[in-house]
Amino acid sequence: MKTNNYQKSGELFNRALKVIPTGVYGHLGPAESCFIPVDAFPFFSTHAKGPYFWDVDGNRFIDYMCAYGPNILGYNDPDVDAAVKQQMEKGNCVTSPSFAMVEMAEKLVDTVEMADWAFFAKNGGDVTSFALMIAKAATGKKKTIMVKGGYHGVAPWTQKIGHPGIVEEDITNNIYVDWNDIDQLEKVILANKDEIACFISTPYHHPVFEDNQMPAKGYWKKVRKLCTDNNIVLAIDDVRCGFRLDMKGSDHYFGFEADLMCFCKALGNGWNFSAICGSEKFRDAASSVMYTGSYWMSAVPFAAGKATIDKLDRLNAPEYLSKLGKKLQDGLVSSGKKHGFDLKVSGHPSMWFMRITNDDSFMIHQEWVSECVKRGVFFTNHHNLFMNCAMTEEDVKFTHEVAEEAFKVVRLNHPEL
């Protein structure tokens, strides 16, 4: 099987380094994304369609990162693109916002079980930050409980002391608890009586470099009761999981009701906007907070969002993604076992995490991932992965073939295993 060449990608990256800090910044860059070895990965694309993208050297990849989540229907989905084109002819950023914003809010309220209202921004971090502001406005309290290892964006409150640019005051009102530990949560609430405004968490635990963890039986119902009894706002960061587990929201999937729900990633199939949905109880608090942005009411993403949710509904996307994901992951595990590798899969089949457990250093897993990428299957080695609705049984079959060859190569490279 042919392996990729990345000559043009390397040349472009050297150009980028001269004019952009780190060349490609944030979670898409080779440093942040842990592209190891760096020469196994492409840095720049030319175009994308369905479940694939092509890099500047002409290599095609089945993309299991799905642009880190936004691509849920497939790149350049025809129904979404048609809605976008129609709206572009009417207008996008206008002094008076388009009524498309109202229609998008109605769509979310009709779709998300807990939602009585919706508010729009651009990034997931915009709405997680807004969730905290709403909670503080509603309760008059200042502290936030977060799960250790959880990710809610890059605002100063989401980071840790010691990170460049972060000072103690940024995180002084944060309290951290372990995932799934109700006893610890109860003790923290008791120790900070009448000071906690918000408990924010993803619906299941999906940190980087760690196995994903589903909620223990009864966990969310107990959390819900603790929050209700102590006047704590329960905010769920559904930025990654949203519409992949349940069209009605991941809180609905796990059998409880959040006060606030944050969405982004899959909301518009790549057309950038985010949303926070809330229950009636928090409408006034949301209304009281001054919060806005230059492009937050642009109409084109709302048109994309309406088309995306309609199509996800028609396709019964959560079921499709789950079934195809399970087939993919079962085959990968089986192939690994055949070659003496224990590939552990965790999380939900539509958005899973995997690692080879034979080596605690992660190096064997990184090597296997890099061999897959060089053959046209784009995984990353430390982050959860995503399915999308454009993926087919043929794509799964090809992925299994690539994974098989990659396991063979790694086995030959490591006779000591």
In the chain, what are the domains?
7-63+317-413 (3.90.1150.10), 78-315 (3.40.640.10)
Contact 210, 235 (CB under 8 A): no
Contact 196, 229 (CB under 8 A): no
Buried b (16+ CB within 10 A) or exposed e, 119-139: bbbbbbbbbbbbbbbbbbbbb
Contact 16, 8 (CB under 8 A): no
Sign of CA dihedral 249, 250, 255, 258: negative
The per-residue pLDDT for 35 is: 85
70 prior amide bond cis, ω within 30: no
pLDDT tens profile 180-207: 999 999 999 999 999 999 999 999 999 9
CA 254 to chain centre: 18
In which order are the strands placed within the sheet that holds 52-55?
45-49, 52-55, 60-63, 377-378
Q: How confident is the model at residue 416 (pLDDT cuts 50, 70, 90)?
A: confident
Structure tokens, 383 = 């982050």
pLDDT tens profile 309-335: 999 999 999 999 999 999 999 999 999
Burial of 326 from C-beta contacts in 10 A (0-12 / 13-18 / 19+) = middle
Contact 349, 327 (CB under 8 A): no
Cα–Cα distance for residue pair 189/202, rounded to 1 Å: 19
The per-residue pLDDT for 371 is: 98
Mean pLDDT of 273-280: 98
Q: Tokens 């989540």 correspond to what residue?
A: 69
pLDDT tens profile 116-129: 999 999 999 999 99
Contact 120, 101 (CB under 8 A): yes
The per-residue pLDDT for 33 is: 76
Report which residue type is found at 375.
R
CB atoms within 10 A of CB 149: 16
pLDDT tens profile 25-84: 877 777 777 888 889 999 999 999 999 999 999 999 999 999 999 999 999 999 999 999
Structure tokens, 71 = 């691509």
The distance between the two most distant Cα atoms of the chain, rounded to a whole number of Å, is 67
Q: Tokens 């089949």 correspond to what residue?
A: 349
The per-residue pLDDT for 372 is: 98
Q: Tokens 């088309």 correspond to what residue?
A: 307
Contact 189, 226 (CB under 8 A): yes
Q: How confident is the model at residue 135 (pLDDT cuts 50, 70, 90)?
A: very high
For residue 9, give every residue at least 6 positions away whose Cβ sits within 8 Å of its Cβ, in sequence order, or none: 42, 43, 44, 55, 56, 57
pLDDT tens profile 146-167: 999 999 999 999 999 999 999 9
The per-residue pLDDT for 31 is: 72
The per-residue pLDDT for 253 is: 98
Cα–Cα distance for residue pair 314/227, rounded to 1 Å: 35
Q: Tokens 């409980």 correspond to what residue?
A: 145
The per-residue pLDDT for 342 is: 97
- Tell me 113's DSSP state: T
Q: How confident is the model at residue 2 (pLDDT cuts 50, 70, 90)?
A: confident
Residue percentage of the chain with pLDDT more than 90: 94
Mean pLDDT of 342-364: 95
Q: Tokens 């109409």 correspond to what residue?
A: 299
Cα–Cα distances (Å) from 126 to 43, 119, 278, 347, 403, in that order, read: 27, 11, 15, 25, 37
pLDDT tens profile 95-116: 999 999 999 999 999 999 999 9
Contact 169, 269 (CB under 8 A): no
